[in-house]
Chain A
Amino acid sequence: MAKYILKRILYLFLTLFIIATITFFLMKMLPGTPFSNQNRLSPEQLAIVKAQYGLDQPILIQYIRYIGGLFQGNLGTSFQFNNEPVTQLIGQRLAPSMQIGAQAMILGTILGILLGAIAAIRKNTWVDTLATFVSILGISIPSFVLAVLLQFYLAYKWHIYPVALWDNFQSSVLPTIALAALPLGNVARFMRTEMVDVLSSDYIELAKSKGNSEWQVVVKHALRNSLIPIVTIIGPMAVSTMTGSMVVENIFSIPGIGEQFVKSITTNDYPTIMGLTIFYSFLLILVFLVVDILYVLIDPRIRLGNGGNE
């Protein structure tokens, strides 16, 4: 397996290189320039500024320079944010986004698995109906609506959690809940469907015939077998939770990375766009690798690489 993971990491870098190349040329096709008050600059001034940022060179030269920097771990400096290096910019803003994203995923997945499992075990009872209702709410209420509601009641009216800003764990609670609703709803729905299926399978009947109680059957046999398809949806969901947190970050005034991304696109901040795209791609590929490893851990029938010859 170690060999397989190593191979996957190699592919990861190759993929990142291709993504960087495509993004670079697509980005250059964006209309406008990074200079906000361009029409007030004289052509001479513009030429000086362009030369300063290396934008006077042919696109191919710019590309080679950028990739060269990339190989040395240099993502360049931002055009907009005080000439800060992009790596530093991402570093500073990454922590809050990753924290609420990861917390929301963990919370949503665990609660979703529990909710779905309970709904399946108590199929066609009021418990099942309630669980279905909750998961549909989770899926259909947009995270920003939930965020505003949470902010209004739990922070503004009842003063349980801070209204906004990024300070300590307390300030991450409300954005985490707001973001957890969607994964919770999705996981619960998939879990219920899968668990209902698993609970009616032959090996569950055999497990019952061994003298396992209803709960022992669920914990020892049904749960693990129901998790297999859940892993599939968790990967892409994790990425969208971590990247799609922008609006929620905005509502709670959290200095996260999502906000940065949008700003950099509207201002043609080339190095920041490139840096963030590469970073997000890296995250996505990494999550897929983790998902594949999770599959192997959960389902012994799946073997990585070599068609099971390991």
Chain B
Amino acid sequence: MDKILEVKDLHVNFATYNGTVQAIRGVNFDLSAGETLAIVGESGSGKSITVRSILQLLAKNADINKGTILYHGEDLLKKSKKEMDAIRGNKISMIFQDPMTSLDPTMTIGKQVAEPLLIHNKVSKKEALGRAEEVLRLVGIPNPKERMNDYPHQFSGGQRQRIVIAIAIVDYPEILIADEPTTALDVTVQAQIIDLLKELQQKIGTSIIFITHDLGVVAGIADRVAVMYAGKFVEYGSVDEIFYDPQHPYTWGLLDSMPTLDTSEEDHLNSIPGTPPNLLNPPKGDAFAPRNEYAMQIDLEEQPPFFKVSKTHYAATWLLHPDAPKVTPPKGIQKRFTKFKKLGDNI
């Protein structure tokens, strides 16, 4: 598969009154045409900042001080403002988290959806509006023709998120960045939006980077999953590998704190104790070590490199080092391992 986006050794710092916050501390990933990559992690782990760096939609005090973001081999970080404007909304577009505040309250939705077309293409206003109407129908807004002249406040939350999606896809972007697009919606609407995204992906063949803290949502949409913690990826692999053969204790913690259909009344949901480290002074060793019941001495002293689990599956934990003692993961995770073996046998 063609790699259309490669992020290499990305570092992002934020200048604050208290000092420099090292929000992203060396992130590497790539994206192939047509695939969906999910980035999961808790609040503040740097998921949003990672994807916003791609579009350079960061706050003014942010500084991408190291790394490259190659889009078809060209470094986006070296592009001028004007060149970036030409990429945003056209080649790479973004779906935002909160549909209630993401639409301009004083502009009709027809105009808002048509706007990217008018910016990037030489089309007449009429053509752009006609196309906007088509896309609104595509994302499931009933009576799009009549509703083009309505304002955001005349739509429900779910409908507004459909409109936000319509804006993002109207110019058939190559990459769609979805920054927690379902977090602000209730569960039934969440499922509809996920289905819509999958359907659109098939129709227009876009790649998706999907940011979420909800592993349940990931299972439904992603091809590959990256788990992020304290500004770094700690594990990445295919959906099955992350869900049924997780290697990093943090991934174990995340999966173990999620209810499944197998969760019975006797089981209790685990939580990960403690809080993430303060990235003003990132720890010397593995950032997760203080919360990790499997942590070893080396975790406190040296950051683990990525160990290869399979061709597509990597995890940054010293537990995978040949010299590391064998540990017994939590019961829920062991069940997952068993399932993974069965999956493997079936193939």
Instruction: List A residues at the B interface (Cβ < 8 Å).
Output: 201-203, 205-214, 216, 220-221, 224-225, 298-301
Residues of the A chain whose Cβ atoms lie less than 8 Å from the Cβ of B115: 207, 210, 212, 220
Distance in Å from the Cβ of A194 to the closest Cβ of chain B?
13
B112 CB to nearest A CB, Å: 9
Whole-angstrom CA separation of A196 from B112 in the bound complex: 22
Size of the B side of the interface (Cβ < 8 Å), in residues, is 30
Known: A205-B96, A206-B164, A300-B151. A211 touches B104 (CB 8 A): no
In the bound complex, do residue A210 and residue B105 qualify as a contact, i.e. CB atoms below 8 Å apart? Answer: no
Chain A residues with CB under 8 A of B346? none
Q: In whole angstroms, what is the CA distance A225 to B94 when docked?
A: 22
Chain B residues positioned under 8 Å from A206 (CB to CB)? 94, 96, 102-104, 164, 167
Q: Most chain-B CB neighbours within 10 Å: which of A205, A210, A214?
A: A210
The answer to whether B119 and A224 have CB atoms under 8 Å apart is no
Cβ-neighbour of A212 out of B55, B87, B102, B119 (below 8 A): B119
Q: Which 9 A-B pairs have the closest CB atoms?
A: A211-B89, A210-B89, A202-B101, A300-B151, A211-B88, A209-B94, A202-B102, A210-B116, A203-B104
- B298 proximal to A (CB < 8 A): no
The 8 Å CB contact of B93, one of A209, A216, A298, is A209
Q: Are A213 and B82 in contact (CB under 8 A)?
A: yes
Residue of A nearest to B99 (CB): A202
Selected from A202, A209, A225, the residue in CB contact (under 8 A) with B88 is A209
Having A202-B101, A209-B96, A213-B85, one finds 13 other A-B pairs with CB under 8 Å, namely: A203-B101, A203-B103, A206-B103, A206-B167, A209-B55, A211-B85, A211-B116, A212-B119, A220-B107, A225-B105, A298-B106, A300-B105, A300-B106
Report 25 cross-chain contacts, Cβ distance below 8 Å, ordered by A residue: A202-B98, A202-B102, A203-B104, A205-B57, A205-B96, A205-B102, A206-B103, A206-B167, A207-B104, A209-B94, A209-B168, A210-B88, A210-B93, A211-B85, A211-B86, A211-B116, A212-B89, A213-B82, A214-B81, A220-B107, A220-B115, A221-B104, A225-B104, A300-B106, A300-B153
Contact of A299 among B88, B105, B164 (CB under 8 A): B105
Contact status A225-B106, CB under 8 Å: yes
Expressed in whole angstroms, the Cα–Cα distance for A96 and B33 within the complex equals 70
User: Taking A202-B102, A206-B103, A301-B153 as contacts, is the C-beta distance between A211 and B120 under 8 angstroms?
Assistant: yes
Give complex CA distance A209, B115 in Å: 11
Considering only residues 66-83 of chain B, those with a C-beta below 8 Å from chain A are 81-82
Cβ–Cβ < 8 Å partners of A300 in chain B: 105-106, 151, 153
Interface set, chain B 111-148, CB cutoff 8 A to A? 115-116, 119-120
B90 in the interface, Cβ–Cβ < 8 Å? Answer: yes
Q: How far is the CA of A166 from the CA of B85 in the complex (A)?
A: 53
Among A209, A211, A216, A301, which residue has its beta carbon within 8 angstroms of that of B105? A301
Task: Give complex CA distance A212, B115 in Å.
Answer: 9
CA distance A221 to B101 in the complex (A): 13
Instruction: Name the A residues within 8 Å of B116 (CB-CB).
Output: 210-211
Which of B88, B104, B164 has most A Cβ within 10 Å?
A: B104
Cα of A225 to Cα of B116 in the assembled complex, Å: 20
- Bitwise, B142-181 to A at CB < 8 A (1) or not (0) is 0000000001010000000000100110000000000000
Q: Which residues of A contact B120 (CB under 8 A)?
A: 211
Cβ contacts under 8 Å, B90 to chain A: 211
Chain A residues near B55: list those with CB within 8 A.
Answer: 209
Which of B86, B93, B105 is A203 in contact with, Cβ under 8 Å?
A: B105
Cβ < 8 Å to A, chain B residues 41-68: 55, 57
- Give CA–CA (A240, B94) in the complex, Å: 48
Contact assessment for A210 and B119 in the assembled complex, using a CB-CB cutoff below 8 Å: yes
- A202, A209, A298: the one within 8 Å of B89 (CB): A209
Residue of B nearest to A124 (CB): B60
B189 to nearest A CB, angstroms?
18
- Asked whether A212 lies within 8 Å of B105 as measured between CB atoms, the reply is no
- Given the complex, which residues of A lie within 8 Å of B87, measured CB to CB? 211
* Bound-complex Cα distance A213 to B81 (A): 8
B151 touches A203 (CB 8 A): no
Residues of chain B lying within 8 A (CB to CB) of residue A221:
104, 107
A208 touches B81 (CB 8 A): no
Q: CA separation between A220 and B116, bound complex, in Å?
A: 13
B106 and A224 within 8 A (CB)? yes
Contact B88 A208 (CB under 8 A): yes
Contacts A209-B88, A211-B90 given; indicate if A202 touches B96 (C-beta within 8 A). yes
Closest to A222 in B: B104
Q: In the complex, which residues of chain A have a beta carbon less than 8 angstroms from the beta carbon of B153?
A: 300-301
